[in-house]
Amino acid sequence: MVFDNKKVYLLLGSNLGDREQLIEEAIALINSEIGEVFAKSSVYETAAWGKEDQPSFLNVALGVETKLTPIEVLNLALKIEQELGRIRHEKWGSRLIDIDIIFYDDIVVDMGPELQVPHPQMQYRKFVLEPLAEIAADYVHPVLKITVREVLERLQDNLSVSRI
């Protein structure tokens, strides 16, 4: 079965190792295994969120065009993380690479803890919204029914996020 192309928005993060190199390698793998990257934000340096006693993160938002289903995108994202050395030790802990699905077209997916799209915490996280707004400011959140720009304008998160 062939699916129509869907737009998927991903957030990449890294706070261990050669952060910039890991993000670039992840982008190359995403482009070859998940779909064509059609948009890439600037790189943002962000303070750790959730568990603050760790190095700061680099974050990049991507727009990717894919024919894959949401679960296929998730499985390939997890495979790419593993290929780049990610080992899951603790929730919100330091990591070589993290790839989160923020949006999958305008589709809402709830497969419990395994996969939820839109990302259930994205509207509370400046480190997600700043880079995402750079490449998809007018994208309408399929649950909140407001644009990414509007979500960012209403945000209460004061976390340090700066374009580098």
- Domain boundaries of the chain, sorted by first residue: 6-122
Q: What number does CATH give the domain 6-122?
A: 3.30.70.560
Question: Is 49 a residue whose pLDDT tops 80?
Answer: no
Question: Is 138 a residue whose pLDDT tops 60?
Answer: yes
Question: What is the percent of the chain with per-residue pLDDT over 70, rounded to a whole number?
Answer: 90
112 pLDDT band, cuts 50/70/90, is: confident
Q: Which positions are catalytic?
A: 86, 95, 98, 100
Entry pTM: 0.90
Which residue type occupies 163? R
What pLDDT score does 163 carry?
Answer: 92
Three-state DSSP at 17 gives coil
What pLDDT score does 153 carry?
Answer: 94
Q: Among 44, 30, 28, 3, which residue's Cα sits nearest to residue 135?
A: 44
Residue 83: both structure tokens together:
């290929």
